[in-house]
Amino acid sequence: MKIGVMATSWEDPADCVRLAQLAEERDMESIWFGEHSHLPIDTQHAFTETTPEFYRRIPDPYIVLAGIAATTTRIRIGTGIALPAQASPLTIAKQTATLDRLSKGRFEWGVGYGWNQQEMIDQGLDPRYRMATFAESVRAVRSLWQDDVSSFQGEHVRFGDCYSYPKPLQRPGPPILLGCRPSPRAFRHLAEFCDGWMPSIVQCLDDIDRSLSDLRKAFEAAGRDPDSLSLTFIDSVGFWKDVRIDEYKSRRRVSTATLERLQEVGAQRVILGIPLFRADAMEMFLDSAAELIEVAR
């Protein structure tokens, strides 16, 4: 099982690039950055009263990952997670294919439905149709990645015959990982047009056996081999908390027991959440995270 990291810099997006270089030096397998175009002040969501500070400071993940692609050679790069329903698939397909080319096939597209309704509204997305729009957007991106001439005519996504280049280096495209809670509709989407599940550990671990059984049944119903499913688990608690290094080591890290349980259920990767970091602390956090590489082998 491989170990990756996910983080947001407190101050300068350039620190994210430096973090990736340091992570690669420590043999971390991958690095991931989330996407939020903005944080509305007037909003209703799960964190209304205690919104973590990092939500205000998320840089554009595709630009940060391009910087990382240009300055590293081995570490895989990904979005954790991107929100395709809130953007044009024509733009996303070109961004992601370009990233895959720049990184020489190291890009993975972690995607999700989104949860901040006001953010969706500000972006022109009706929250009632976020899952349907998401599904059409991802399918459209897949078409743009694969076909010389592509078009899409859905309920929420529409464009006529067009060319979209470059094409990704990975064929038929970068792996698409769906970050979601277990649900029949989400698992149906995952089986129909995604490659792997990317849930939060704290949101899924207690009922993981039943969830994976349901997901494998969804793969079979879609005519896909359940063994082709990839599993990436995110330490979202460690990512959301702005903590000191001693607290990160003692309270926020994924435990050995949790890693062993995830290995038991077939996880290929665990992404450790590094709290909102400042440049002078990034090596301490990475050293702490890197201690788990040997445990996961």
Predicted TM-score (pTM) of this structure = 0.95
Strand pairing of 150-153 and 158-162? antiparallel
Q: Which fold has domain 2-296?
A: TIM Barrel (3.20.20)
In this prediction, residue 248 carries a pLDDT of 74
Q: Cβ(103)–Cβ(96) under 8 Å?
A: no
Residue 245: the pLDDT is 74
> What is the torsional sign of CA 197, 205, 267, 71?
positive
Mean pLDDT score across all residues of the chain: 93
| Nearest Cα to Cα of residue 288 among 16, 8, 23, 20 | 23
- Dump pLDDT digits (tens) for 100-156: 999 999 999 999 999 999 999 999 999 999 999 999 999 999 999 999 999 999 999
Nearest to 80 by CA among 104, 64, 103: 64
Which residues fall within 8 angstroms of residue 217, CB to CB, at 6 or more apart?
Answer: none
- Residues 48, 95: Cα–Cα separation, whole Å: 31
Cis omega (within 30 of 0) on the bond before 81?
yes
242-294 pLDDT tens trace: 667 777 777 667 888 899 999 999 999 999 988 788 899 899 989 988 988 98
**Main-chain phi, psi angles of 35, to 5 degrees:** -135, 125
Q: Where are the alpha helices (DSSP H) in the chain?
A: 14-25, 61-71, 89-102, 117-122, 130-146, 184-193, 201-204, 208-221, 236-240, 245-247, 256-264, 282-296
| 59-105 pLDDT tens trace | 999 999 999 999 999 999 999 999 999 999 999 999 999 999 999 99
